Amino acid sequence: MSYVDTRSIKQMPTRLDYCQYLRSTQIDYIITNYADHVNNFSHDAINRYLQQDKITARIILEYVKGDIIQSPRGCIVIDDSVLDKNYSHKIEMVKLQYSGNAHGLIKGIGMVNCLYVNPDSGQYWIVDYRIYDPEKDGKTKLDYVREMLIALVGCKRVTFDRVLIDSWYSAKELLLFIESLNKFYYRCRS
């Protein structure tokens, strides 16, 4: 009988492992960074895991909800970003779009992010997100904002009284919708 050194065998990550990584990293969310910082998982194992599992915003919120310190003065911050994929040629969601960070058009994946901010403690948590893919779902970024706010208010996920948005989200219908939720809104310049 031969002996196998199990310390060198790479394992498959779990949803808990990956969500813990997303919660702990502040700057670099790519899978090679994840693989560089753990001993148990190879880059390929993480890639296979991500292809098999779908981590939705609801799942992320389930993992962080117990950590959120809520405040009656809580704020929801809605912002969009573009994940730069300039060197990607085969990812179907990659398209040319405006990036405020790059001050121009870049190839990337658009995201609309929703953060909960506790102004008393200065802490914040991501509570929802949407991948911007109008060719697939026919929705605008304003549609995503409305959906996220409905989910937050309807499911009473977090307590908040203000919504902070970029000035370009200031469509009359959206602002009236926020008012109908009995919430204040603040428009911020990019």
Q: Where are the domains of the chain?
A: 8-55, 69-188
**pLDDT of residue 5 exceeding 50:** no
Whether residue 149 has pLDDT greater than 70 = yes
pLDDT in tens, 30-76: 777 777 777 777 767 777 777 777 777 777 777 777 888 989 999 99
Model pLDDT for residues 108-127, shown as the tens digit of each residue: 889 999 999 999 999 988 88
pTM: 0.72
Contact predicate 162/183, CB 8 Å: yes
| Predicted pLDDT of residue 7 | 45
Tokens of 68: 């959120």
Instruction: Measure the CA dihedral 152/157/159/162, to 10°.
Output: -20
b/e string for 65-97 if b means 16 or more Cβ within 10 A? eeebeebeebbbbbbbbbbeeeeeeeeeebbee
Domain 69-188 listed as CATH 3.30.43: no
Judge whether 189 and 167 are in contact, CB under 8 Å.
Answer: yes
